[in-house]
Amino acid sequence: MLKLSKDPKYITELQEFQNQINRVLVQKNKQHAQTLLNDIIHQANLIDEGHASNNDGNIDPHTLRSNVVELTNLRVQLKNFLKGA
């Protein structure tokens, strides 16, 4: 089964985000960025769980779609935040 959390592009992007967060000097900004990154990881895990084979093919496309949209929004927020931090 294909998992988003195992995708090399996803892993590379997470590492890049973490490296950028580690370079942020202001602690409050660093915490906010880390929270966004944790939310990204959480959404990816929800997407993986939604596609898991142990769901017996019962995939709720509406829920998964909202997870994908939320993941996209979080990535954009974090990218924009890190540009300004």
Pairwise pLDDT comparison (81 vs 85), residue with the higher score: 81
What's 51's DSSP letter?
A: T
User: Which of 4-8, 13-17, 43-47 holds the top average pLDDT?
Assistant: 13-17
Pairwise pLDDT comparison (14 vs 59), residue with the higher score: 14
The answer to pTM > 0.95 is no
d(CA 55, CA 49): 8
The residue extents of the domains of the chain are 4-84
| Among 39, 21, 18, 17, residue whose Cα is nearest residue 30 | 21
- Tens-place pLDDT, residues 24-75: 999 999 999 999 999 999 999 999 888 766 666 567 777 889 999 999 999 9
